[in-house]
Amino acid sequence: MRDHTLLGPWVRRFLLEYLVTDRNLARNTQASYRDTLTLLLPYLSKDRKTSADRLTIDDLSPSLLRSFLAYLEKERGCSGVTRNTRLATIHSLARFIGMHSPEHVAWSAEIRAIPFRKTPKATLTYMDKPEIDALLQVPDIRTPLGRRDYALLLFMYNTGARADEVAHLTVGDCVLHGSLSVRLVGKANKARWCPLWADVADVLRPFVAGRATHDFVFLNRLGQPLTRFGIYGLVRRVVERAAETSPSLAAKQISPHCIRHSCAVHLLRSGNDINTIRAWLGHVSLDTTNIYAEVDLEMKAKALASCDIPQMQSNQPWHTEPGIMGFLKSL
């Protein structure tokens, strides 16, 4: 009879059945879950002095899990956000085991009772138009790699596409004549159509000319598809050079996702409504898109300048009463 106390078979079912078949999570999410368990299992094996395939569910005790989380922060230098991400994976594994093994319900509850750490909310970073222009001036369009870098940066700014969406873009996804648009496949394999600017289409046409529809658009120097990690590296190199002419870039943490944020903020400044931007970026909820209105300091400054605040004169009757109440009584 199969030993239901062994942790290994549960991990296998969790990764290959639950995440893929039951929840249909995106590739990157599946990889994140796998990476957490890749760190956890050797840690448990070393602490319990047994091989990974002989670990039991009870070996993963709440006290040992707390020790593992401390190891992530102190020895691996992980941030509080990363620590919480790893803990969320283990919570999900415990919930899965508890649902399918009644004798481990109490254990599952103890593991899931370990709380997440409160972390400061990260400030959304975006670039202003002069900073985007500085980025686009870096690639040398006289060279093949320079033309690729320029096309990629311009495409990301136009569409607000995620790095993974850009990496998997094919020639057949691009409509470069007539109704200019591109098909992007985002999280959970959700597809959306995004309009292309005429300038972007002009750059892409010679770039993909003569290539098959199933070919990837952006390739590395070896002719292989550019990965999302390659895109991150490309953006970092371009930002380092652009910071020489635009020093404000050096003070920002610029990534491909920052270009996505910049696209959204600039669309908002151009007068596009939130729902249009939500569809443009492929957000499921408007709550996700509303953050761009909250962080846009330029729009807040314009709104403040448009307010007609009456001047406070000492002879006005409400001046003697402090605070906002005095002002309201004068209206």
| pLDDT above 90 for 136 | yes
pLDDT of residue 186: 85
- Encoded amino acid at 2, one letter: R
Tell me which residue has tokens 């929840």: 23
| pLDDT above 80 for 48 | yes
Domain ranges of the chain: 7-112, 129-295
State mean pLDDT over 36-41: 96
Q: What is the pTM of this model?
A: 0.72
The first and second tokens of residue 74, run together, are 């102190």
Radius of gyration of the chain (CA): 26
| pLDDT above 60 for 324 | no
State mean pLDDT over 220-233: 93
Q: For the chain, where are the alpha helices, taking DSSP H only? A: 7-13, 27-48, 62-74, 80-100, 105-112, 129-136, 144-159, 163-167, 198-208, 228-242, 256-269, 274-281, 286-289, 291-295, 297-306, 323-329
Three-class DSSP category at 204 = helix
| pLDDT above 90 for 142 | yes
State mean pLDDT over 233-261: 94
Check: CB of residue 182 under 8 Å from CB of residue 193: yes
Classify 129-295 by CATH class: mainly alpha
pLDDT band at 327 (very low <50, low <70, confident <90, very high): very low
Query: What is the phi/psi pair of residue 86, to 5°?
Result: -65, -40
| CATH number of this structure's domain 7-112 | 1.10.150
Smallest CA-to-CA distance from 124 within 10, 240, 269, 290 is with 290
| pLDDT above 70 for 113 | yes
Q: Is 7-112's fold the same as 129-295's?
A: no
Measured CA distances, 330 to 145, 202, 242, 317, 324 (Å): 66, 60, 52, 7, 10
